[in-house]
Amino acid sequence: MEAKVIETDVLVVGGGGAGFRAAIAARENNIRVLLLSKGPLARCGATPMAGADYTLDGSSLHRLGFRGDPKDNREKFFNDIVTQGYFLNNQKLVDQYVRNAPDRLRELLEWGLKVDCSEERAIDTSGINLMNVLLRRMRKAGAQVLEDTMLLDLLVQDGQVVGALGLDINTGEFIHFNCKAVIMATGGWHKAFWPNTGMRDLSGEGIAMAHRAGAEIGNMEFITFCCNVLLSPPVWRGSIAIYIMDLICGGELTNREGEVFLRKYDPYTVETGTKTEWNKSFVSFASRKEVIEGRGSPLGGVYYGTGKVSWEDFERSAMMMFPNWKYKLMDLSELCKMLRSRGKVEVGPAVEYFDGGIVVNEQFETSVRGLYAAGECILGPFGSNRICSAITEILVQGTDAGRNAAEYAAKAKTPFPDAAAFAPLREVADFPLLGKDGVRPAPLRRHIQEMAHEYLGPIRNQQGLSSFITVLDDAAATKLSSLTVSSPVRSYNKEWIDALELRNTVHLLRAAAKSALCRTESRGVHFREDHPYTDNDHWVRESVVRLVDGNLCVTSRPITVTTMTPPKGLLPFLDMMKMMMESRSDVGGAH
Amino acid sequence: MDSETITVTVFRFEPTSDEEPHYQSYKVPFETGMSALNALDYIYQNLDGTVAYHDHAGCGLGICARCTVLINGRRGFLCQEIITGDILLEPVSKKTVIRDLVTRIGPRDTP
């Protein structure tokens, strides 16, 4: 079938906050900018569903007229991000985050962002409000957009991006994009796991296609699981409502035996690890441990209840975030009844954020000329554990990536690819439509998602990772090439989309599982039962995955240090966690 | 209760090859607290890979509204509609069907 041909200067891939902000910045240069949104405009990706907090140093926040702690400063904020990341951070990217966070918030306020409340070093807004503000601004800036359009692969000639192959999901028509620069802003790859906390579109194609095009990816083993994610009833599986409720109302986690299992841990670690955003790594670790040791709930989680908090206090706090027991459009009145009668709900860790991704420098350039990346899809500033806001991340990085890509595109001499150059990419994409009696994508996807949740969760070991890698390698070697769909009709073919996405999620899971197996230590959100120590003598290194003749080769290299020298020595994981918590500056708040 | 099955009847129409729409019924194991979307996911994953519903970018929280369909004749979100028995699922507009329950969305209001 004939493909549509679209020419632009900068192609932005991703319809969340990083992509929108990059498109706005790229338009400052008055070149042509086209943004691809895989789903509904301003309502897909992770940003619209975010809480959403925006972190910056407290004194800058104070100067903007909010609560903010005036005794906070950029050095303290920098220190805290690096210690929260167990020193695995790229410190140049931490500096970029800290330095740009105040300006990005200032302009958002000028553009009409509403602030719900503020604390020592953060403001709270909603992801929907943020996306609406960015959408208005992007339209005003004159960027073009395409909805329900998925990018499949990049076209690279002589080490330079010259175009990309896209798919109109509704019609099944291919689109040949001719462009000078591409900005990947495709976010995480939650869809590789089940259950997950993400929207249904996040399948990591940006990271996978950048890797196929020659860019490096790294720190893929660092995958943050959100704790207290609802596992039941089915309608709410994956919702973070209880996670939020626990932070603002308090409450209590118990295991199958009714034991308040957090009491087993160091009181300081529990205090910091439940009252601040350290809870994602600490509570996920502790909950998963209960499940592995046979004290979990039937659905593989633990139980949440109101504990010692009186119902009056609990409900009063809950009403701040869940007015009339509504969260977004979820009606939580049944949950309210259950908690009021001292009932308990099943919750557990589920995948939430990806600390690793495409390797970029501080200009957000990849190693492929003309290819830029920003937001959750990059190996970003957070090292092995993120506590501070990913909303700040997408805005500071999107802006710089957009500006730099536009500057490059304005000068680049990019050859115009002919249609024949797209043929090999189209052939790969069409393949699942042509076969008969092969492997069906949906059951394979679910099988792999459930294994990913089990073996790439907060607690890992050599045996589990190795068996998962065997399954993934087999999928990559045989099953992916025999995926077939039940119907060859191109328009809105769910199985075809699944097949196209599976190629990417399997690729990223292989990279992550192999990196997790190589990292013979425990650090941040990566805990190895068989290597329960943080090894600062050998492992203050970032993992890098290279694609060599179709094989994934994991290596490592020293991290990028500017001012803070990493510690030395071998420490038990929980002692290292406590040391990192205690290294925090004297600024209060949840971050 | 959870060992029961329910019947989920789905409007089917593929405009490039079907002359007329038709309805297809599926038996789905019932789980307390399941959504209409959970039922369709079960059908897609276990019974019929050709069934189309808006899924490639759904939020699952009732904020994107793209999974709006007629559920037993009444507009609702697939992701938030808790079902308790047999259901009939039809597109919001039979004139703008791309495939089955997926419809073409007109120009939307600027949020």
String of DSSP letters for A233-257: SGGGTT--HHHHHHHHH--EEE-TT
Give tens-digit pLDDT for A443-501: 999 999 999 999 999 999 999 999 999 999 999 999 999 999 999 999 999 999 999 99
Is the CB of A200 less than 8 angstroms away from the CB of B104?
no
pLDDT value at residue A444:
96
Is the CB of A493 less than 8 angstroms away from the CB of B44?
no
Whether cis (ω within 30° of 0) applies to the bond prior to A233 is: yes
pLDDT value at residue B106:
57
Phi-psi category of A492—alpha, beta or left, where left has phi over 0 and alpha has psi -120 to 50? left
Inform me whether the C-beta atom of residue A340 falls under 8 Å from chain B C-beta atoms.
no
Q: What's the rounded Cα separation, in Å, for the pair A559 and A90?
A: 6
- The tokens 């997790």 sit on which residue? A516
Pairing of strands A223-230, A345-354: antiparallel
Structural domains in chain B plus CATH codes? 5-103 (3.10.20.30)
β-sheet bridge partners, residue A378 = A358
Mean pLDDT of chain A: 96
Is the CB of B31 less than 8 angstroms away from the CB of A233?
yes
Return the CA Rg of chain B: 14
Is the CB of B57 less than 8 angstroms away from the CB of A238?
no
Is the CB of B34 less than 8 angstroms away from the CB of A235?
yes
Mean pLDDT value of segment A535-539 = 98
String of DSSP letters for A492-546: T-HHHHHHHHHHHHHHHHHHHHHHHHH--S-BTTBEETTB-EEETTT--EEEEEE
Provide the percentage of residues in chain A whose pLDDT is more than 70.
100
String of DSSP letters for A59-90: HHHHHTTSS--TT--HHHHHHHHHHHTTT-S-
Q: What's the rounded Cα separation, in Å, for the pair A566 and B34?
A: 49
Return the CA Rg of chain A: 23
Sign of CA dihedral A44, A46, A52, A56: negative
Q: Please, what's the largest Cα pairwise distance for chain A? A: 69
Sign of CA dihedral B95, B101, B104, B109: positive
- DSSP H or E segment with residue A110: helix A91-110
Q: Which residues of B touch A41 (CB under 8 A)?
A: 108
Structural domains in chain A plus CATH codes? 4-223+353-420 (3.50.50.60), 225-350 (3.90.700), 422-558 (1.20.58.100)
Distance of CA A328 to the CA centre of its chain: 21
- DSSP H or E segment with residue A349: strand A345-354
- Of A128, A200, A235, which has the smallest distance from its Cβ to B57's Cβ? A200
Q: Which residues of B touch A491 (CB under 8 A)?
A: 14, 16, 98-99
Whether cis (ω within 30° of 0) applies to the bond prior to A70 is: no
pLDDT value at residue B61:
79
Inform me whether the C-beta atom of residue A114 falls under 8 Å from chain B C-beta atoms.
no
Helix segments in A264-310, DSSP class H: 267-275, 279-292
Alpha carbon of B22: minimum distance to chain A alpha carbons (Å): 17
Structure tokens at A143: 């960027």
pLDDT value at residue A139:
97
Return the DSSP state at A9: S
Which of these, A134, A136, A120, A135, lies nearest to A53 by C-alpha position?
A120
In A409-468, the residues whose Cβ lies within 8 Å of chain B are 440-443, 446
Structure tokens at A121: 């070093």
Inform me whether the C-beta atom of residue A82 falls under 8 Å from chain B C-beta atoms.
no
- Of B49, B56, B63, which has the smallest distance from its Cβ to A49's Cβ? B63
Alpha carbon of B95: minimum distance to chain A alpha carbons (Å): 15
**Residue pLDDT tens, chain B, 111 long:** 457 999 999 999 999 999 999 999 999 999 999 999 999 999 999 999 999 999 999 888 788 889 999 999 999 999 999 999 999 999 999 999 999 999 987 555 433
Is the CB of A199 less than 8 angstroms away from the CB of B110?
no
Distances (CA, A) of B16 to A38, A189, B50: 23, 33, 14
Q: Which residues of A touch B110 (CB under 8 A)?
A: 135-136, 139
**B111 compared with A525, residue with greater pLDDT:** A525
Give tens-digit pLDDT for A197-210: 978 999 999 999 99
Is the CB of B59 less than 8 angstroms away from the CB of A494?
no
Which of these, A150, A590, A130, A147, lies nearest to A395 by C-alpha position?
A130
pLDDT value at residue A490:
96
Inform me whether the C-beta atom of residue A569 falls under 8 Å from chain B C-beta atoms.
no
Q: What's the rounded Cα separation, in Å, for the pair A238 and A169?
A: 25
Contact A122, A590 (CB under 8 A): yes
Return the DSSP state at B45: I
Q: Which residues of B touch A489 (CB under 8 A)?
A: 14, 16-17, 99
The C-alpha angle A323, B67, A140, rounded to 5 degrees, equals: 80
pLDDT value at residue A436:
82
- 3-class state of residue A162 by DSSP: strand
- DSSP H or E segment with residue A442: helix A441-455
Distance of CA A424 to the CA centre of its chain: 30
Residue A51 binned pLDDT confidence (cut-offs 50, 70, 90): confident
Contact A57, A49 (CB under 8 A): no
Q: What's the rounded Cα separation, in Å, for the pair A352 and A226?
A: 5
pLDDT value at residue A1:
66
- Quick one: closest CA in B to A130, which residue? B111
Whether cis (ω within 30° of 0) applies to the bond prior to A511 is: no
Q: Which residues of B touch A433 (CB under 8 A)?
A: none
For residues A287-300, b (16+ Cβ closer than 10 Å) or e, as one string?
bbbbbbeebbbeeb
Is the CB of A199 less than 8 angstroms away from the CB of B60?
yes
Distances (CA, A) of A317 to A252, A279, A306, A341, A388: 15, 19, 12, 17, 23
Contact A475, A509 (CB under 8 A): no
Mutate to test the interface with B, among A329, A337, A436, A502 (most CBs of B within 10 A): A329
Give tens-digit pLDDT for A202-237: 999 999 999 999 999 999 999 999 999 999 999 999
Mean pLDDT value of segment A61-69 = 96
Structure tokens at A537: 């003598």
Residue A421, amino acid: A
Inform me whether the C-beta atom of residue A337 falls under 8 Å from chain B C-beta atoms.
no
Contact A559, A541 (CB under 8 A): yes
Inform me whether the C-beta atom of residue A150 falls under 8 Å from chain B C-beta atoms.
yes
Residue A512, amino acid: A
Alpha carbon of A399: minimum distance to chain B alpha carbons (Å): 22
Structure tokens at A481: 């090439």
Structure tokens at A552: 């994934």
Backbone phi and psi for residue A135, each to the nearest 5 degrees, phi listed first: -65, -45
Which of these, B44, B93, B104, B14, lies nearest to A40 by C-alpha position?
B104
β-sheet bridge partners, residue A526 = A523
Inform me whether the C-beta atom of residue A104 falls under 8 Å from chain B C-beta atoms.
no
Which of these, A234, A249, A166, lies nearest to A422 by C-alpha position?
A166
- DSSP H or E segment with residue A210: helix A205-212
Q: Which residues of B touch A446 (CB under 8 A)?
A: 45
pLDDT value at residue B109:
40
pLDDT value at residue B110:
39
Pairing of strands A144-146, A122-124: unpaired
Contact A410, A31 (CB under 8 A): yes
Distances (CA, A) of A293 to A273, A289, A458, A523, B83: 21, 6, 14, 21, 35
Q: How many CB atoms lie within 10 A of CB A3?
A: 16
- Quick one: closest CA in B to A169, which residue? B56
Q: What's the rounded Cα separation, in Å, for the pair B90 and A492?
A: 16
pLDDT value at residue B2:
53
The C-alpha angle A179, A180, A185, rounded to 5 degrees, equals: 80
In A503-522, the residues whose Cβ lies within 8 Å of chain B are none
